[in-house]
């Protein structure tokens, strides 16, 4: 919950824009009758701001929210841990000194898939393209269409879940010969993508559309919105988990080094956790996302 002020009415009593005390703009729907333009408000965020690729430059879809009930106090929403705990699914802590369960589960591979949009192997592979209108998933591979359709649908459903892709999603499966083959492919989506979602049938050209409620950016959007920041965070994680304790030298791409040095509080926290000094070295030879720890 955030404090702010209604700065503009777009549609009377229906839609407006609020500026939070933090400076962020939020699209408000609806506007209660007693709330006037310029008035102070408490805002509950329903969807985070989402970056959108434009024709010339990146644009951002405003966060979406609503006016909180009277008497509601401003404060942070539940953390990721709290949201996970509320699902009832067991949560296993992964401290830096313990085994890296995330890496064992394919964390680095997932980040690479999100950055490149490429998932799968030669027999069945996906190419994922986020656009302002929808996320498009192209299925290709060496398998015959009757086999590639269901396998591609399964891969797409798993990728959608793994990367938190939401909103409007289009999956372009291979053209299949008959309705039964298309039904088998659709059943794979229903099996591997948890509800709630809506979907169309797989049409004669192999296209199926899925709609999922969108509350925050997908992993693809998060990483691609700021590749340098994503690389900086990944490098910090690798440095924290580097074997042994004490000082280290962390070598990263020059742009990533500048970002890390601009946040001395991050480096101080890393030094405290490792129990030694951390030296950041920038290299023009390393790509963004590459790093060395020694």
With a cut of 70, list the residues of the chain below it in pLDDT.
52-60, 74
Q: What is the model's pLDDT at position 77? A: 74
Look at residue 216 and give its three-state secondary structure.
Answer: coil
Q: Which domains does the chain have, with CATH numbers?
A: 2-67 (2.40.50), 103-219 (no CATH), 226-293 (3.40.1260.20)
Task: Give how far Cα 86 sits from Cα of 78, 80, 91, Å.
Answer: 10, 10, 10
Q: What is the model's pLDDT at position 55? A: 47
Q: What is the pTM of this model?
A: 0.81
Q: Distance between CA atoms of 15 and 66, rounded to whole angstroms? A: 10
Helix, strand, coil percentages, rounded to 5, for the chain = 30, 30, 40
Q: What is the model's pLDDT at position 44? A: 87
Q: What is the model's pLDDT at position 54? A: 54
pLDDT in tens, 189-222: 999 999 999 999 999 999 999 999 998 889 999 8
pLDDT in tens, 118-147: 999 889 999 999 988 899 999 999 999 999
Q: What is the model's pLDDT at position 98? A: 86
User: Hey, what are 158's tokens?
Assistant: 């798993």
DSSP codes, 24-77: -EEEE-S--TT--TT-EEEEEEEE--EEEE-SSSEEEEPEEEEEPPTTPPP---
């Amino acid at each position: 919950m955030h404090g702010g002020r209604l700065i503009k009415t777009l549609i009377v009593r229906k839609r407006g824009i609020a500026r939070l005390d933090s400076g962020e703009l939020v699209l408000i729907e609806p506007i209660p009758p007693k709330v006037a333009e310029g008035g102070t408000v408490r805002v509950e965020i329903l969807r985070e701001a989402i970056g959108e690729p434009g024709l010339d430059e990146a644009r951002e879809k405003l966060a979406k929210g609503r006016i909180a009930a009277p008497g509601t106090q401003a404060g942070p929403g539940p953390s990721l841990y709290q949201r996970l705990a509320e699902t009832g699914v067991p949560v296993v802590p992964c401290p830096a000194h313990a085994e890296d369960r995330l890496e064992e589960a394919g964390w680095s591979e997932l980040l690479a898939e999100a950055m490149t949009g490429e998932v799968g192997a030669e027999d069945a592979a996906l190419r994922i393209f986020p656009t302002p209108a929808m996320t498009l998933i192209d299925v290709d591979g060496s398998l015959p269409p009757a086999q590639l359709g269901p396998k591609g649908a399964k891969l797409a459903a798993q990728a959608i879940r793994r990367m938190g892709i939401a909103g409007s999603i289009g999956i372009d499966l291979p053209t299949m010969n008959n309705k039964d083959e298309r039904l088998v492919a659709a059943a794979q989506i229903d099996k591997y993508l948890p509800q709630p979602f809506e979907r169309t049938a797989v049409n004669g050209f192999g296209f199926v559309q899925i709609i999922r409620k969108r509350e925050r950016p997908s992993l693809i959007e998060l990483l691609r919105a700021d590749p340098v920041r994503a690389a900086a965070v990944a490098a910090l994680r690798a440095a924290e988990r580097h074997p042994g304790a004490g000082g280290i030298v962390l070598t990263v791409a020059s742009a990533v080094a500048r970002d890390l040095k601009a946040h001395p509080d991050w480096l101080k926290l890393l030094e405290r956790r490792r129990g030694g000094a951390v030296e950041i070295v920038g290299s023009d030879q390393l790509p963004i996302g590459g790093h060395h720890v020694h």
